[in-house]
Structure 1
Amino acid sequence: MRPPSARFLMVSAGMGAGHDAVAAELARRLEGLGQEASRVDVLGLLPDGIGAGLRAFYRTAVRRAPVVYEGIYRVFFRPGRGPRPGSAPLAALAEDRLLALVERERPDVVVPVFHLAAQLTGRLRARGALRVPSAVMVTDFAVHRQWLHPGNDLHLCVTPEAADTVRRALGRPSVATGPVVAERFLAPAPGAARWRRRFGAYAPGRPPVLVSVGAWGAGTRVADTARLLSGAGYLPVVLCGRDERLRDRLSRLPEVVALGWERDLPGLLAAVRAVVDNAAGQTALEALAAGVPVVGYRPIPGHGREGVRRMAALGLSDHARDAWELLRLLDVLTEPSAPRERRIAAGRRLFAADAAARLTEAVARTAAPGGAR
């Protein structure tokens, strides 16, 4: 039975590409269920110039000053003893514009898909200014404290462990819905044959391994990783995102395929034997959906490092702590083997539920008499 139609407002953030990808796919699925969905960037709700400045600072810190970002993460994101600063002052700056948007669009539910948005809706719900439920879509494996605000009505998480973390921290409803990735990653990829021909012609006999550094090309010693893989007999295929300088630099290396922003990612994933990842973000989830083993290596600081560790601890991926371990893992995971099959099966089990369906059902229960709020 299809749930009654409701209007959902997704509040995402253009920080890289992952949060927007989740929001877009969630909106598409909700519309497929007969719901209405719209999206807004929380950075655009901040006063003019602040959102763009925040994005530029974050991008620079992650790419050029990882020690700085690690310090910020430790202070603002990771739980610790005593009072800890949060993002409340920043979230407060977006309150008026979000409330005005809600007044115009009249959504039945607001869905934060970024931690600053979760702080924003939580503050407004806690004092009664936002009169419709807020259901937070937590996209990280490691749930840091900026995702957590007791004012929000519901949290939807990637794993049962993450959902349990939210319940223990807040005492609020939380459900495990699995990751939200486009359905094309879960289906046979028509473009895989084209990619296999390309790789075979470029470097016959070398197993292709995808190296992912996100939409911004954020990574440590990416060229060194590519050389390491090439020297070990693999064909490194590096996704440089929108960083054309990185792509140009890697293109000069022999036996390295450097790609920019790639639209046929399902076909590409289906043609490689493993993914070397540094953030436990959307590309890692898409690889799990496509049935490709993931190895975390040289993770970016903060949420990237904690996410890579958490994925490995859950048995969804492996974490290589040095070059020797990376090659040892790839030697096993790129060939038919029991460890490879275990990783593929564990990854695909994450996708047993439809996050959009669980969202509509959970929100309906929350809104019912005797519900959570």
Structure 2
Amino acid sequence: MNPDPVVLIVSSAFGDGHAKVAQAIEQSFKSRGVDRVHTVDLFAEVHPWLNGVSRAFYLKSFVYAPNLYGLIYNATSGMKPDYPFGRLLHSMGKRKAKEVLEEIRPDVIIHTFPYLAASQLGRESAIQLPVFTVLTDYVLHGRWIHPHTTKYFIPLESIKEAMLSSGVDEQAITVSGIPIREAFMRSPDRAEVLRKHRLKDNQRYILLAGGAYGVMARIRNILKSVLVHTDFDFIVLCGNNDRLRESLEDTYRDNSRVHILGYTDDVHELMSISFCLLTKAGGVTLTEAFAMLLPVIVYRPLPGQEAGNAESLSMQKAIYTACNERELLDRLRRLGIQPFREEIERQMKAISRTESSSRIVDEVLNAIKERPSYAGRIFKKTEGKGKAKNAHGYR
């Protein structure tokens, strides 16, 4: 084993979850003394213009064309890497990707985002580099699957069944859970958190999170309905949506029951003192809430992976969903009834795997240990026609 391995984590700024998972894995590596960890938005590196356009479409589609995004997501969900579209996606920018990889010279690659050009390069290389993929949602999309994958780390047993049906070898799948940052594995002091954020000890707070970019339908109607019909107060996280934050601040400037925040790194603290989380169905946000046993209500799940997350987890009774204000008020009422709350906490605890990052890092380091060190020459041309068996059992 290389005593000082180089780790490349391929992440993305599409949403916030991919980057958070990469950060959690990087934290775990560094806690083991592995310091040469590079987290790279590879798609942005090799295709900055296309990345910008795609990211803008991704964010705007949630607001202006959610059904279109859902249609595209569902139409491509069953694709395989040998399909023409799959080959196109995973081969885009290979030349530039190869330059990036030759500069970093990793001993292992970990994907937290399904841009798998690195996997494609590894497949074409005579020297087989260990390549791992960490799924960041509770539903499977075909973009995550690539034949040159050493192992997949997935959040649920149900996804394993879907991957087996797609031809992935069972030995190449570990049900690890989704990695989260260390902050969500600790219980902050409640009194200290309340003082820090100037909140009241005798009040029940709904933490309303629209994601890192403040994308959530009908936030104003939600606030109005809940404030009128319940005694809950709100902590509203607007993310990086400054326009939304400023608008809500103007509306609720004199209302002591609504606390408006922009992007914050203190989400774990706010979760620890909240009655429930009202949010969109991002896989990482849901996982963070599960770790803190904070009940979740997903309001009007957006088409695509978020609808898949909501359906999968609501079927397991780990979250509530609400499609309108009447259902939202009903779900809030249920969470105030102890048996209902205890049941959903049991299901969250059953799904939560707080040691996910450690388990992933253990397996990655073991894979490196079993191989000679190829750092510095992984992507060089070598002679030889043999092909190692990959994660799918192909040769």
Normalised TM-score (structure 1): 0.87
Unaligned runs of 5+ in 2: 372-387
Distance in 2 of aligned mates of 1:206 and 1:256: 12
- TM-superposed deviation, 1:104: 2.3
2:227 paired residue among 226, 230, 249 = 230
- TM-superposed deviation, 1:86: 3.5
2:131 paired residue among 129, 134, 140 = 134
- TM-superposed deviation, 1:371: 8.0
Bigger mean CA deviation after superposition, 164-173 or 258-267: 164-173
Match of 1:268 in 2: 270
Match of 2:200 in 1: 200
Could you list the per-position Cα deviations for residues 187-227 of structure 1 after superposition, in whole angstroms to 9, with x for gaps in the alignment?
121466443773329xxx65211111101111111111121
Match of 1:33 in 2: 32
Matched to 2:120, the amino acid is R
Matched to 2:233, the amino acid is L
- TM-superposed deviation, 1:13: 0.3
Alignment of 1:339 with 2:340, yes or no, is yes
Distance 1:67 1:127, change over 3 A: same
- TM-superposed deviation, 1:241: 0.4
Let me know the Cα RMSD of the aligned residues.
2.9
Match of 1:43 in 2: 43
Contact kept? 2:132, 2:152, Cα under 8 Å: yes
User: What is the 5 A alignment of 1:243-322?
Assistant: 243-251=241-249, 252-253=251-252, 254=255, 255-322=257-324
Distance in 1 of aligned mates of 2:285 and 2:354: 19
Distance in 2 of aligned mates of 1:28 and 1:150: 28
Match of 1:104 in 2: 103
Bigger mean CA deviation after superposition, 279-288 or 221-230: 279-288
Contact kept? 1:195, 1:267, Cα under 8 Å: no
3-state DSSP of counterpart to 1:209 = strand
Match of 1:22 in 2: 21
Could you list the per-position Cα deviations for residues 267-301 of structure 1 after superposition, in whole angstroms to 9, with x for gaps in the alignment?
11111100112123322221111121011111222
Distance in 2 of aligned mates of 1:366 and 1:162: 26
Structure with larger Rg: 2
Distance in 2 of aligned mates of 1:86 and 1:347: 37
Task: With a CA cutoff of 8 Å and minimum separation of 6, indicate the structure with the bigger relative contact order.
Answer: 2
Distance in 1 of aligned mates of 2:303 and 2:69: 7
Distance in 1 of aligned mates of 2:353 and 2:248: 34
Alignment of 1:12 with 2:11, yes or no, is yes
Instruction: Give the paired residue count.
Output: 364
1:123 paired residue among 120, 123, 127 = 120
3-state DSSP of counterpart to 1:189 = coil
Distance 1:92 1:45, change over 3 A: farther
Normalised TM-score (structure 2): 0.83
Runs of 4+ in 1 over 4 A off after TM superposition: 2-5, 365-373
User: What is the 5 A alignment of 1:44-123?
Assistant: 44-76=44-76, 78-79=77-78, 86-115=85-114, 117=115, 119-123=116-120
% identity of equivalent residues: 23
- TM-superposed deviation, 1:4: 6.4
Distance 1:75 1:84, change over 3 A: farther
- TM-superposed deviation, 1:20: 0.6
Distance in 1 of aligned mates of 2:141 and 2:194: 37
Could you list the per-position Cα deviations for residues 57-83 of structure 1 after superposition, in whole angstroms to 9, with x for gaps in the alignment?
21111222212212221222x3389x9
3-state DSSP of counterpart to 2:138 = coil
Could you list the per-position Cα deviations for residues 335-373 of structure 1 after superposition, in whole angstroms to 9, with x for gaps in the alignment?
361221232233234225333333432563598489856
Matched to 1:309, the amino acid is E
Matched to 2:362, the amino acid is T
Distance in 1 of aligned mates of 2:305 and 2:162: 16
Match of 2:167 in 1: 170
Distance in 1 of aligned mates of 2:242 and 2:65: 19
3-state DSSP of counterpart to 2:247 = helix
Distance 1:144 1:363, change over 3 A: farther
1:241 paired residue among 239, 242, 264 = 239
3-state DSSP of counterpart to 1:199 = coil
Distance 1:39 1:221, change over 3 A: same
3-state DSSP of counterpart to 1:135 = strand
Contact kept? 1:241, 1:262, Cα under 8 Å: yes
Distance in 2 of aligned mates of 1:331 and 1:363: 47
Bigger mean CA deviation after superposition, 297-306 or 40-49: 40-49
Match of 1:348 in 2: 349
Matched to 1:174, the amino acid is I
Distance 1:85 1:236, change over 3 A: farther
3-state DSSP of counterpart to 1:200 = coil
Distance in 1 of aligned mates of 2:310 and 2:127: 35
Contact kept? 2:185, 2:354, Cα under 8 Å: no
Unaligned runs of 5+ in 1: none
Match of 2:156 in 1: 159
Distance in 2 of aligned mates of 1:321 and 1:108: 47
Could you list the per-position Cα deviations for residues 133-158 of structure 1 after superposition, in whole angstroms to 9, with x for gaps in the alignment?
11001010011111122222211012
